[in-house]
Structures are given as structure tokens and as C-alpha cells.
Amino acid sequence: MVAQRKGRSGSRAMTRREALRLGAAAAAGAVAGPFGASPARAEAADWQRYKGTTLFLLFYKHPWVDQIMKYFPEFESLTGMKLQSEVIPEVQGREKLVVEMTSGSGGIDAWHASMHVEKRRFWKSGWFQPLNAYLQDKTLTAEDYAWNDVTAGAKQAVTQPDQTISALPTFVDPFVFFYRKDLFDQKGWGPPRTMEELEDRAKALHNPPAMYGFVMRGLKNANATPWAYVLYAMGGEYLTPDRKSAINTPGWVKSMEWYAGMLRRFAPPGVVNFNWYECSAAFMQGQVAMYIDGVNFANQFEDPTKSKIAGKVGYAALPAGPVGHFAPTFTNAMAVSAQSRHKEAAYLFSEWATSKQSCNRELLGGVGVGRASTWGLPEIKARPRMPLAWYQAYQDSLKIGRPGLPEIVDVTQYRDIIGVAIQKAIEGAPPAAVIAEADKQFQDLLDKTER
């Protein structure tokens, strides 16, 4: 069993008015069902079949987790099951999960997986319970769960090379373009359509120390996620068709020239050590005109108690590069442990947590999701928590999303390899030289881990 588990965390279930607004049929005083289906559909899935079961869930700290835990009492009332959970930071959580899985204890029934890190390693280890059969079982999956409503990028993130589905997507985080809309409006600009336009505007707005034109992450490992945007836009790939390193190619060298060059010329001093926190802080303090990072960092920009630029931020999909228009995405999902003694019961939780109604509530709570239909909710326009441009940028980015990291066993080591290369290039090392070295290190890593 998992040691030091926290008790259930919950608050009130949805009110009847809230449930009706989201299309969920709920009788007065009853707990709203998770699918808002007609009675015939609601009866198709037997939610009470595992009544009395206790599920143990592992979560990494995340905005989606904060939202879904509010509704745990709803799931317990619907199913007659009990939920026990533990919420810990991602790095420590993954270490704990690996220990549990390696020991074969079966103490974790389901967890909130970071597919951009865990996908291939956990699949090769046999730790994901494949969900294909469960999705096709009408006694387990409600008719209106609508797998086809899940966005293509989110599906890709949870689907393995053998076409098994390892998890149900909860949260998709695409990278987007943040900019000072007030400064752009003064010049009569809209958001840049191309990387070339972005560079021109960074140059025009760069006026240190009062204003720096542009910022992205410079710190090793952390810089590997925004790097994916430049790489894809320049035509680079991580792997060849036979899963060898594709690093030592012209697209990678061009990407390094652009990434390191932009930060060297237009970013604040010390950017080589900037993670998302330092980038966001500089942008919120009004020191930077343009910034590229994960879309969900935007909540803090609109908080006037934290941000000097609240109400002045523009949001858009990332500008197109020479070979196309891409957004790196990073997907979390509910996974059922292959070692669980309650696999089907754990699947019912994952299904409920990723249903249309749950996704609707997450988005209304300011947390992005991977379902297409949710983004069309009239409630978003009626009472948005963020500027409408944020919702549009998010939706546009999901349409052009690609997994932001290579699907390999040791993602963390790859991030260190490319991260050091980026830092060296920012500090002035020749891009071609750091790319050649990174290619050698990456191929060595693949030789050791991808057999």
C-alpha cells in the first residue's frame, strides 16, 4: 500500500443550476451524473458494479488536480466507491511511482500521468493497463463519452506504437505567444504571423534596460520544451524513421542559430539561467515585450495583485516558421496501473474524470482540456475567467499541436543534453559545434535505452 496517504479532498458537488447549464440532467438534491445523458444512455454503463471498492490514486501537483478533487464526493455518490489520494510534486511523485511499480505492490490503482515524460518508458515497462477494450465495452463506457471528441494531439499523446491506448487525456498544455498588446496597438501591429516578423518586432521594441524585446527559457533542461517550437518550425525532427538520432541536420543548426541568437540579442541579462519562473516574472513586471511559453502560465498575467501588465497582454498561436505552423504540446492523462487489483473500477474513475462534464467544469475553472466540444461552451463567452483571446489562442494551438518532446525511454536525459547545448550556444559557442556534440550524446543515449 502507499504510505502516508492523504484523506479525500473535496467540496460541494455541482449545484443543479450549474449542472443544467452544462447540459447534465440532475434531479433536485441529487448528485449530478458525469455525462448528462438520457436515461437509456445513463443505464448503459453500470456505475455501481464496484460499489464498496476503495481506489488509491496518485496525483502530481497540477491545476487540473485541484479542480477535479473538488468533485470527488460526486464520484463516490455515483459509484458507491471510496477514493483515497496522494498529491505530491511531479519529480517526487514520479520517483514514488517508479518505486511502487518496480516493487509490484499493486498499491496504486491509477495516477495522473505526464505522457510527455512517462509514455514510452512506462509502456516498455508494462506499467500502463491498455484501455482499448474498456473504451469499447458499453457496460464500462457511457455511450456519450465520445472518444472522437478528444483532440487529435491528445489522442496521439496517449496512443502507443502498438496502437494501445495507455491513458485518457485530462489536460493539454500547448505553447503560445504572449505579447504586450498595448505596445503593439501603439504601433498598429497585430501578433506576428511569422518568425521573421517576430524577430523584426523584437528588434523594434528592444530598448534595454527599460524594455527587452523577447524572452524564452535559457536554463538547461527547462529550455528543451520551448525549443521544440523552433525545431518544428525549422523542419527538424528528433528521430529518423529507424529511431536513430536526427539531431545533426541543417534544421537543428538553423534552430540553434535562431533560438540562441534571439536570446543573446533581445533577452534580459542572465537569460541563460532563466526557467519559466524568471521569464514569467520579467514579463509580468513589464520588462519584456514578447514571451513564448505554456498557455496556462497566463493566469498570473491577468492577476493585478501579481502583474503590472494585467489587461495589457495579447495571446495568439505561435508564428509560422519556414516549414509550417506548429505548437509543441504537453499532455497529462489518467492512467490505470497494470498492477492494480481494481483495474475496471480505476477505469471508471478515469472515465468520469475525463468525461465531457468534467472537462466542461475544468475549462470553466480556467484549466485547459483536450476535448473539442468543450471549447464551444456558451458559458465561456458569457463569463470568461480569461480574455477571450486566450481561449482562441488555446484552441488554435490545439489544432496545430505536436508532442513537444521525443517519445523515448529517457526523456529527462535528452532534455539535459539539448539543454546544455542551448546554454552553450547562448553563451557564444558555434551552433554547428554544439549540435554535433549533442547528436553524439543523444545517439549514445538511444543505443543504451531504446533496444
Q: What is the pLDDT of residue 22?
A: 35
| pLDDT reading at 3 higher than 80 | no
- Do residues 245 and 251 make contact, with C-beta atoms less than 8 angstroms apart? no
Give mean pLDDT, residues 127-156.
Answer: 93
The answer to whether residue 354 scores a pLDDT higher than 70 is yes
Q: What percent of the chain has pLDDT over 90?
A: 76
d(CA 66, CA 9): 9
Please report which helix (H) or strand (E) contains residue 170, including its range: strand 168-180
Residue 179, pLDDT above cutoff 50: yes
Q: What is the mean pLDDT of residues 402-414?
A: 93
Return the pLDDT at 14: 38
User: Comparing 16 with 176, which gets the higher pLDDT?
Assistant: 176
Strand-strand pairing, 401-403 and 327-336 = parallel
Identify the CA nearest to 330 among candidates 119, 114, 168, 134. 114
Q: Which residue from 215, 224, 260, 218 is spatially nearest to 425, judged by alpha carbons? A: 260
Read off the pLDDT of residues 11-63 as tens digits, 9 standing for 90 and up. 333 343 333 333 333 222 223 333 333 333 344 789 999 999 999 999 998 88
Burial group, residue 448, by CB count within 10 angstroms (0-12, 13-18, 19+): exposed
* All residues at 6 or more sequence positions from 66 whose CB lies less than 8 Å from its CB, including other chains: none
pLDDT band at 370 (very low <50, low <70, confident <90, very high): confident
Give the residue range(s) of CATH 3.40.190.10 domains in the chain. 16-172+330-401, 173-328+405-449
Rounded Cα distance between 319 and 311, Å, is 22
Which homologous superfamily does the CATH classification assign to the domain defined by 173-328+405-449? Periplasmic binding protein-like II (3.40.190.10)
DSSP H helices, 22-114, are 39-42, 63-68, 72-79, 90-103
- The string of pLDDT tens digits covering residues 217-231 is 999 999 999 999 999
Looking at domain 16-172+330-401, which of 2.40.160.20, 3.40.50.10330, 3.40.190.10, 3.30.70.20 is its CATH number? 3.40.190.10
Q: pLDDT for 52-63, tens place per residue?
A: 999 999 999 888
pLDDT at residue 1, as a whole number:
36
Q: Which three cell numbers stand for residue 370?
A: 483536450
Label the pairing between strands 290-294 and 327-336.
Answer: unpaired
CA pair distance 1, 33, nearest whole angstrom: 30
